[in-house]
Amino acid sequence: MAPATPTGRHDVSAETFPRERAAGQPVTEGWEGRIRQRLDGIVADGRWRSPRDFDARGPAGVLVDGGHSDGGREVVSFASNDYLGLSAHPTVVAAAHDAVDRWGAGSGGSRLVTGSRPVHHQLEAAVADWKGTEAAICYPTGYAANLGVLSVLGTAGARILSDELNHASIIDGCRLARADVAVYRHADPDHVDRLLAASDHPALVVTDTVFSMDGDVAPLADLAAVCRRHRAALVLDEAHAVLGPHPGPDVTDDLLVVRVGTLSKTLGALGGFVAAPRPVVDLLINASRPYIFTTAGSPADAAAGLAALGVLRSTDGAHRCARLADLVDRLAPGHPTPIVPVVLGTEHRAVAASAALLDRGLWVPAIRPPTVPVGTSRLRVTLSAAHTDHHVDRLVAALAAVASPEVGAGPGVTVGLAAR
């Protein structure tokens, strides 16, 4: 150990930290130049982004835009993940209000210090019942949930197999893990089978159940069969699985399955969860850094999630799911999820198409690298049960003009290019 300083602290050798340049190599540019160079490159590549305020309660509202003459415009958003419109549901809003009145705005600490409130445990019990698992654990975000699961289960000596199109939170969880990581071809159980057969390490396979940029689904039963054959665990991120696929006994029986999800999409609140056998949850409570070392989600978020889960499991929730499925079929017949990509190719083309839709009062942001591979920039349409038939008919008609072959529509989902 390094010698103690007069303050009682210990010096840390510079050799503790990795270097990006050889010792003695001069720094050729200052931070201002480095940052400016990266920003200029982002602009040149057509990848510049900046957040814009959307003053709305539901899919329709005012998009604040400094370039607009009056500072804002009325738009209908097709970019939200509030798939069932539960963020504004009266029961959900009232539950959040009641939680603020009882416990205040924040939790005041991490879950293992002072941050747990009764509503956090009530939510975890309800999530476990919903997912049919022994237990559940909640995180402040779904992103943190993936970091927690993969860093804890992916210890040295283990192996993680990750779908090549998995969400960034899964990718970053794999990076934090000490396990060996292999990337398998998208939705390819045969490739998983070969990778597992070539290794004798304890393994886990991790996949989104619905892929967030393409809106396609993972072959869960086939992946489960491969995992079962090789005694591997299966981690499922169900963040976008509002319409399924919902793993049944053919996936969950005789297999360690860990189900990760979020409160912010299907349930319209904020937070993440992991539903799993009790030993897995106990391990996460005691070893997961994103759980141990962060302030607990607010009581209002937990209460909103709990109330939204109650709505989801009611007749109202069933009607909303059926409504959402109908709107998906109106836009893209036969498509399995409310994420509908319209691939246009280049960054500039996607940005131009998004701007043209915005001129028609429809907000569909352009999705560009690094979020998607180079050459697959796209419009990413997301539907909500809160959209009206008129909203969707307007979108269908606008896409027929903006994303037509004449402007370079790519091989994305074929939308119904005539309103019904």
Q: Which of 312, 333, 354 is the last residue of a domain?
A: 312
Please check whether residues 232 and 361 belong to one and the same domain.
no
Q: Which of 262, 288, 312 is the last residue of a domain?
A: 312
pLDDT tens per residue, range 189-208: 999 999 999 999 999 999 99
4 is a domain residue: no
Which domain, by its residues, includes 137? 90-312
Question: Is the previous residue joined to 245 through a cis bond, with omega within 30 degrees of 0?
Answer: yes
Q: How confident is the model at residue 149 (pLDDT cuts 50, 70, 90)?
A: very high
CATH code where residue 321 lies? 3.90.1150.10
Please check whether residues 249 and 215 belong to one and the same domain.
yes
263 is a domain residue: yes
Q: Is residue 410 predicted with pLDDT exceeding 50?
A: no
Please check whether residues 226 and 181 belong to one and the same domain.
yes
Please check whether residues 62 and 203 belong to one and the same domain.
no
Return the structure tokens found at 391: 């909203």
How many folded domains does the chain comprise?
A: 2
37 is a domain residue: no
More confident residue, 240 or 46: 240
pLDDT at 48: 84
- The total of other beta-carbon atoms located within 10 Å of residue 230's CB is 16
Q: Is residue 413 predicted with pLDDT exceeding 60?
A: no
Q: Which of 288, 312, 336 is the last residue of a domain?
A: 312
Region 315-333 average pLDDT: 97
Share the mean pLDDT of the chain: 90
pLDDT tens per residue, range 254-266: 999 999 999 999 9
Q: Is residue 25 predicted with pLDDT exceeding 90?
A: no
Q: Which residues on neighbouring strands pair with residue 135, listed in sequence order?
A: 276
2 is a domain residue: no
pLDDT tens per residue, range 106-127: 999 999 999 999 999 999 999 9
121 is a domain residue: yes
What's phi and psi for 322, nearest 5 deg? -65, -40
d(CA 386, CA 361): 17
pLDDT tens per residue, range 209-228: 999 999 999 999 999 999 99
**Residues near 405 by beta carbon (within 8 Å), at least 6 away in sequence:** none
Please check whether residues 369 and 277 belong to one and the same domain.
no
CATH code where residue 99 lies? 3.40.640.10
Please check whether residues 204 and 345 belong to one and the same domain.
no
pLDDT tens per residue, range 178-189: 999 999 999 999
Q: How confident is the model at residue 395 (pLDDT cuts 50, 70, 90)?
A: very high
